[in-house]
Amino acid sequence: MNIRLADEQDINQLIKMRWDFTIEYDESKKIEQTSFTDFEKECHSFLESALNSGQWFIWVAEDNGKIVSHIYIELIQKVPRPGRITYPFAYITNVYTIKEYRNKSIGSKLLTTINEWTKKNRYEFIIVWPSDDSIDFYKKNGYVHCTEPMEYFPS
């Protein structure tokens, strides 16, 4: 198992995984009736931009050249504060492992790599909004619930 940062050669696999991830959890079954081609164009553009931005980092686990798990990280820059060096924080999103590779500690290895990477780069903290099903996964990897964030949903 190879854990590494994604590059542009991975875009097609990442697009397919994002599609499969969304379809797998779509209880309405409406998304799979939408155009894959339209999604593919939008996602390809996003991934090209993200991979070259220095703001997004996509970590992958691959088995014999096949990406089997991924975690997307977006760095959030903070406004500088007098009297201290300001470091960004990391936002985790789009965490997915394909079915046949689940429950084999691949996600935990990927997350451990990310935790070490954020520590090495002195990012202030990592934040993730887990699904109910993934709370235990994050807890066993050192994450704790926080109560500070607030939300606003414009109508």
- Please determine, looking at this structure, whether the domain spanning 2-140 carries the CATH number 3.40.630.30: yes
pLDDT tens readout for residues 55-111:
999 999 999 999 999 999 999 999 999 999 999 999 999 999 999 999 999 999 999
**CA–CA distance from 68 to each of 100, 105, 119 (Å)?**
9, 12, 25
Element (H, E) at 68: strand 66-76
pTM reported for the whole predicted model: 0.91
* CA triple 7-14-34, angle to 5 deg: 145
CB-facing half-sphere around the CA of 81: CA atoms within 13 A? 8
pLDDT tens readout for residues 13-60:
999 999 999 988 877 888 878 888 999 999 999 999 999 999 999 999
Cβ neighbours of residue 10 closer than 8 Å, sequence gap 6 or more: 58, 60, 67
